Every structure is written in structure tokens, then in C-alpha cells.
């Protein structure tokens, strides 16, 4: 009888201990909410997955995050309210830092206010917030490019290509470039700067320009094709250059030109874009597009993850990295002119 009592007591102790150990284990895991296992949790949002260039940035971020952070990635579906809700949700999941590609660049302040309330660092990327907003929070940075540089380089590229091919491309021999311009999303710093500086650069080189038309096609191929269809029937043979704020829209314009019998034989109209995505590189190789500007998605994705990993661990964002920070709290990756001759540079970047 005494033995049975002893066995029951030992058995009860074992069961209680197991339950207790499990409880303590679960509790310590939950209380350590900033971590998933040994990796700090980081919340990220892309303004919309359905943007080809952003999909390259996302892939690069996901690759670079492996083994460093537990990355929670969200598709904000181009909806500002959805993005703000996602940010609230990530904060409630206990992330240690945020990496945000804003839907609306003007909403940076709202994001900063949310992050500040929890003392969370924020790395904005691709769509640059206003400098005053970025400066208002010491735990906010921007990773991207210098929008102005892409416009200047696109303008320089157009000048060089035009000077080499003027006899063929200046159809009415008036010395002017008669162009149509496809613009990205209104309010996007890249769209604004690219539209301005590309044309300023051409004028600076002493080449007069004539704007036949311009329109926003929201970085989108289908919208760009529709615009180009309209311009081809409106201006017929007057168009001498198609300048696009990005490659995806340039590809939409090329699609329209090809369907309207252009880009083969002597019915040629030069098209340029920005990004150097693989489909554009293919068109340059085929001689259907004359150039683009490399916007290195791979390097930008790596820089975002390096900075946000350090931020999530409470370290200086540049700790142990080779990224050069600017005084305006940014890391900017340089653009590169890409034409047929140096196409392998772009192929390397998007490998």
C-alpha cells in the first residue's frame, strides 16, 4: 500500500513537472515576441506585388533575409488603407523593425507615427519620403536611388543615340526630337524627376525637342500600350522618339508599335526605358529597343535587408556593412546606362 502511494506521488510529480516545463517554455517563447526562434522578426510591405520591378526587389530581399531575420512580407495591393492595417498587424505580432515600400509617399508621416509609438526603426525603400518627414524620426532611413540621376542618364543616353542615328531617326529633318513621353504614377518621386531631367539634359546638349504628347501610364504595360495605340493613330509618322519612365511601359509601347507594323524594315521608332529588367534586355538584343538605365533591384534588396537586420537588433544600421550612408539618412544605389554594347552588365544584375 505504502509503495502504491509512493508510485502515485512520483507519477504526479512527473506529470506536474512536464506540464510546468511546457508552460514555462511556451511563456518564454511568447514573451520573447520580437523573435521567431533565434531570428528577429521584421515586417515588410511592398506597395503592390503586381509590379514587375518590385517583384525583383522582393525576391532579392527574401533571398538576403534567409538565416538573418524572420521576414513577414505583405502585398499592400496598391491600397494605402490596406498597407496601414498591415503595419498595425505586424506591430501587434511583435516585429522588431519595419521595411516599407509606401503605397502613397505622402503617408510616410503616418507610418513614422505608428513606428515611433513602439520605438520601432523603419527602413523606407523605393518610394522616397519627403526629407523633412525622414528627418523627424532618428530611427527612419531610406534605401533606393537618386531619382534625378536616372533622368539625367536617360537624357544623356538619348543625346548620344540621337547624334549617332540622326540621319535615320529625324524623319522630317528639322533637327528636333519629336517625342512622346510615358510617365509613371503621379506623385511618385521617380516619375517626376525622370520626366523633368531626361528632357532638360537633351535641351542642355543643344538638341531642340518637340513634345507631341505625354501621359501617365502608371508604370503599367497595358496602359502604356493603350496610350501608344492612340498616339500612333493620332500622330502617324511624326513620332521620332518614345521616352518612358520605366521599362514595363516601354515594353507596352513596343508591343503597340510592333502590332502597328513598326520596328521592322525601315519603319523604326527608337524606344528607351529605365530599370533594365530581363524582358527589356531581350528587346535591346533583338534591336526593338535602343536602351535603358539599370536600376539595380538585387543590390537594393540586399541593402534593405542589411540595414533592417541591424536596426532590428538595435545596432547602428551600417554596422558590419559596406553601404555608404548619406547625410540625408539614405543609401542610394547608382544607375547605369545600358545599351547593346554593355548589355552583360544588366544581365549580371538581374541574374
List residues binding ligand BGC (CB under 6 A): 51, 53-54, 126-127, 188, 190, 219, 246, 248, 274-275, 295
Question: How many whole angstroms separate alpha carbon 146 and alpha carbon 130?
Answer: 13
- The nearer residue to ligand BGC, 197 or 219, going by C-beta atoms, is 219
Residue 41 or 127 with smaller CB distance to ligand BGC:
127
Nearer to ligand BGC, 51 or 201 (CB): 51
With beta carbons less than 8 A apart as the criterion, state whether 293 and 339 touch: no
- How near is the Cβ of 60 to ligand BGC at its closest, in Å? 14
Q: Which is nearer to ligand BGC, 190 or 201 (CB)?
A: 190
Distance of closest approach, residue 327 Cβ to ligand BGC, in angstroms: 22
Count of Cβ atoms closer than 10 Å to residue 51 Cβ:
21
Residue 130 or residue 174: which is nearer to ligand BGC going by CB?
130
Cβ closest to ligand BGC, residue 240 vs residue 296: 296
**Nearer to ligand BGC (CB atom), residue 41 or residue 302:** 302
295 burial class (0-12, 13-18, 19+ CB within 10 angstroms)? buried
CB closer to ligand BGC, 177 vs 248:
248
Asked if residue 95 lies in contact with residue 310, where contact means CB atoms within 8 angstroms, the answer is no
**Beta partners for residue 243, in sequence order:** 181, 272
Instruction: Output the smallest distance, CB 285 to ligand BGC, in A.
Output: 20
- Closer CB to ligand BGC, 14 or 222, in the complex: 222
Residue with cell 537624357: 155
Please state, in angstroms and as integers, the Cα–Cα distance from residue 298 to each residue in 31, 105, 191, 251, following that order: 35, 22, 21, 21
Residue 29, helix vs strand vs coil: helix
DSSP H or E run through 207 = none
CB of 316 to ligand BGC, least distance (A): 27
Residue written as grid cell 506529470:
15
User: Is the CB of residue 99 less than 8 Å from the CB of residue 308?
Assistant: yes
Least distance in Å: CB of 116 to ligand BGC?
Answer: 24
Smallest separation, CB 124 to ligand BGC (Å):
12
Smallest gap from Cβ 35 to ligand BGC, in A, equals 31
Cα 351 to Cα 59, 60, 211, 347, distances in angstroms: 11, 10, 36, 6
SS3 content of the chain, % helix, strand, coil (to 5): 50, 20, 30
All three cell numbers of 186, joined, read: 503621379
Q: Which residues contact 193 (CB under 8 A, 6 or more apart)?
A: 147, 148, 150, 151
Query: Which residues are paired to 75 by β-bridges?
Result: 46
The helix/strand/coil state of 66 is coil
Q: How far is the CB of 54 from ligand BGC (least distance, A)?
A: 6
**Cα torsion 26, 31, 33, 39: sign:** negative
- Tell me the closest approach of the beta carbon of residue 32 to ligand BGC, in angstroms: 35
Amino acid at each position: 500500500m505504502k509503495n502504491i502511494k509512493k508510485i502515485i506521488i512520483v507519477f504526479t510529480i512527473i506529470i506536474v513537472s512536464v506540464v510546468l516545463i511546457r508552460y514555462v517554455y511556451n511563456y518564454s517563447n511568447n514573451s520573447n515576441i520580437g523573435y521567431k526562434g533565434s531570428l528577429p522578426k521584421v515586417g515588410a510591405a511592398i506597395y503592390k506585388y503586381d509590379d514587375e520591378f518590385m517583384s525583383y526587389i522582393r525576391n532579392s530581399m527574401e533571398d538576403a533575409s534567409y538565416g538573418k531575420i524572420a521576414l513577414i512580407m505583405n502585398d499592400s495591393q496598391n491600397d494605402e488603407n490596406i498597407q496601414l492595417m498591415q503595419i498595425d498587424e505586424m506591430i501587434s505580432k511583435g516585429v522588431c523593425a519595419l521595411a516599407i515600400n509606401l503605397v502613397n509617399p505622402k503617408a510616410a508621416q503616418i507610418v513614422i507615427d505608428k513606428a515611433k509609438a513602439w520605438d520601432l526603426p523603419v527602413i523606407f525603400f523605393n518610394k522616397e519620403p519627403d526629407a523633412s518627414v525622414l528627418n523627424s524620426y532618428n530611427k527612419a532611413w531610406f534605401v533606393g536611388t537618386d531619382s534625378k540621376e536616372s533622368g539625367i542618364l536617360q537624357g544623356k543616353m538619348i543625346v548620344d543615340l540621337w547624334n549617332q542615328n540622326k540621319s535615320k531617326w529625324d524623319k522630317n529633318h528639322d533637327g528636333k526630337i519629336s517625342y512622346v513621353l510615358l510617365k509613371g504614377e503621379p506623385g511618385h518621386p521617380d516619375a517626376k524627376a525622370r520626366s523633368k531631367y531626361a528632357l532638360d539634359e537633351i535641351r542642355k546638349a543643344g538638341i531642340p525637342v518637340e513634345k507631341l504628347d505625354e501621359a501617365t501610364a502608371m508604370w503599367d504595360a497595358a496602359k502604356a500600350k493603350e496610350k501608344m495605340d492612340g498616339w500612333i493613330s493620332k500622330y502617324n509618322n511624326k513620332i521620332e522618339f518614345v521616352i518612358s519612365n520605366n521599362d514595363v511601359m516601354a515594353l507596352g509601347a513596343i508591343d503597340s508599335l510592333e502590332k502597328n507594323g513598326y520596328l521592322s524594315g525601315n519603319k523604326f521608332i527608337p524606344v528607351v526605358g529605365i530599370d533594365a529588367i530581363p524582358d527589356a534586355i531581350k528587346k535591346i538584343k533583338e534591336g526593338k529597343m535602343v536602351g535603358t538605365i539599370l536600376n539595380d533591384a538585387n543590390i537594393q534588396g540586399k541593402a534593405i535587408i542589411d540595414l533592417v537586420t541591424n536596426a532590428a537588433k538595435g545596432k547602428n544600421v551600417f554596422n558590419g556593412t559596406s553601404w555608404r550612408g548619406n547625410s540625408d539618412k539614405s543609401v542610394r544605389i547608382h544607375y547605369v546606362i545600358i545599351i547593346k554594347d554593355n548589355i552583360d552588365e544588366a544581365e549580371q544584375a538581374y541574374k
